[in-house]
């Protein structure tokens, strides 16, 4: 069975601090895909990134970066110089080979205080 | 381009009433997914369609729930009769293929409250 664990239920930091959101996954598939979604207070789910199991290169997009390590089954997300607008619930998700069923973690509620 | 469209955005109903949630996927996407989000269970996949055909409905909680996709641009999720425990946010998502490589794009959700 596939499983995604986001151990941090809530994180609160002061603006401009760096913050890392942890994601650990379990799967028996050799090919799989990992995702991060953002759910701001308005409620919608916004796609941030997709990563496949063959590509362990880190990804950087502006203040966002992702660290994928197969050895530890982790796909962590770092926000550099956080801003109040980054406040949201962030979900890590996994899909395996075959059908595109997404399995979500429980989410991490991130609060950036001014 | 328009994203996934869901209606209504909010629905308040009384126990026992029929509820119909609607979704319009992104044009050209041939996969459509229905998810439910609750505090207790998080985000769970209810059912998904490929080319209007239901592929996997193993996540549908019980017979009170049904979903249809009469054409490529419209899907409904119906609850009859509704119960207070059905209160949740229901999301619709679509993607352009069933491959794990593809990304699911979500609608804004429908917040359902059953009194």
Rounded-to-integer distance, Cα B15 and Cα B30, Å:
34
For residue B108, the distance in angstroms to the closest alpha carbon of chain A comes to: 4
pLDDT at B98 > cutoff 60: no
Q: Do A47 and B102 touch (CB under 8 A)?
A: no
pLDDT classification of B25: cutoffs 50, 70, 90: very high
Question: Minimal CA–CA distance to B66: which of B50, B83, B42, B47?
Answer: B47
The residue of chain B with its CA nearest to that of A103 is B44
- Report whether B46 contacts B58 (CB < 8 A): no
pLDDT (0 to 100) of residue A80: 97
Report the pLDDT averaged over residues B76-103: 88
Within 8 A of A45 by CB-CB distance, chain B residues are 91, 93, 106, 109
- B103 pLDDT band, cuts 50/70/90, is confident
Taking the mean position of all CA atoms in its chain, how far away is CA A56?
A: 15
> Among all residues of chain B, which has the CA nearest to that of A43?
B108
Q: What's the whole-number mean pLDDT along residues A43-65?
A: 90
Q: How far is CA B83 from the centre of its chain?
A: 17
What's the rounded Cα separation, in Å, for the pair B37 and B55? 21
Q: Does B103 touch chain A (CB under 8 A)?
A: yes
Report which of A8, A13, A4, A24 is spatially closest to residue A69, judged by C-alpha positions: A24
**Sequential DSSP letters for B50-109:** ETTEEEE-TT--STTEEEEEEETTEEEEEESS--GGG-EEEEEEEES-SSTTSPPEE---
pLDDT at A40 over 70: yes
Residue B101 pLDDT:
59
Q: pLDDT band at residue B40, thresholds of 50, 70 and 90? A: very high
The predicted model gives A11-31 an average pLDDT of 95
pLDDT digits (tens, 9 = 90+) for A57-70: 888 899 999 999 99
Which residues of chain B are within 8 Å of residue A102 when distances are taken between CB atoms? 33, 43, 45, 104
Tell me the mean pLDDT in the region A91-111: 89
What is the C-alpha to C-alpha distance for residues A18 and B27, in angstroms, rounded to an integer? 38
Residue B35's H or E segment, with its range, is strand B31-38
pLDDT, position B100:
54
The closest of B92, B80, B73 to B33, measured between CA atoms, is: B92
Q: Is A50 close to B101, i.e. CB distance below 8 A?
A: yes
A31 in reach of chain B (CB within 8 A): yes
A–B: how many Cβ contacts below 8 A?
Answer: 60
Query: pLDDT value at position B2?
Result: 81
Burial class (CB in 10 A: 0-12, 13-18, 19+), A13: middle
The answer on pLDDT for A98 being more than 70 is no
Please, how many CA atoms are within 13 Å of residue B37, restricted to the half-sphere of its CB? 22
Chain centre to alpha carbon of residue B50: 14
**Interchain contact A4–B (C-beta under 8 A):** no
Cβ contact A44–B99 (<8 Å): no
pLDDT of the residue at B97: 72
């Amino acid at each position: 069975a596939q499983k995604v664990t986001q151990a941090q239920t809530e994180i609160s930091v002061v603006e401009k601090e760096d913050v890392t959101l942890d994601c650990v996954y379990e799967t028996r598939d050799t090919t799989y895909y990992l995702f991060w979604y953002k759910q701001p207070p308005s409620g919608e789910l916004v796609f941030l990134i997709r990563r496949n199991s063959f590509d362990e290169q880190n990804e950087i997009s502006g203040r966002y970066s992702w660290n994928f390590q197969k050895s530890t089954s982790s796909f962590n997300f770092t926000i550099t110089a956080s801003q109040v607008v980054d406040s949201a619930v962030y979900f890590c998700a996994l899909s395996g080979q075959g059908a595109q069923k997404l399995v979500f973690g429980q989410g991490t509620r991130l609060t950036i205080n001014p | 381009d328009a994203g996934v469209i869901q209606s209504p955005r909010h629905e308040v109903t009384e126990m026992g009433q029929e509820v119909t949630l609607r979704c319009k996927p992104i044009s050209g996407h041939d996969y459509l997914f229905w998810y439910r989000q609750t505090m207790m269970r998080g985000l769970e996949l209810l059912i998904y369609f490929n080319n209007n055909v239901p592929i996997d409905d193993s996540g549908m909680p019980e017979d009170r729930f049904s979903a249809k996709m009469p054409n490529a641009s419209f899907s409904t999720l119906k609850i009859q009769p509704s119960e207070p425990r059905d209160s949740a946010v229901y999301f619709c998502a679509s993607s352009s293929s069933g491959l794990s490589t593809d990304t699911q794009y979500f609608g804004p959700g429908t917040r359902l409250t059953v009194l």
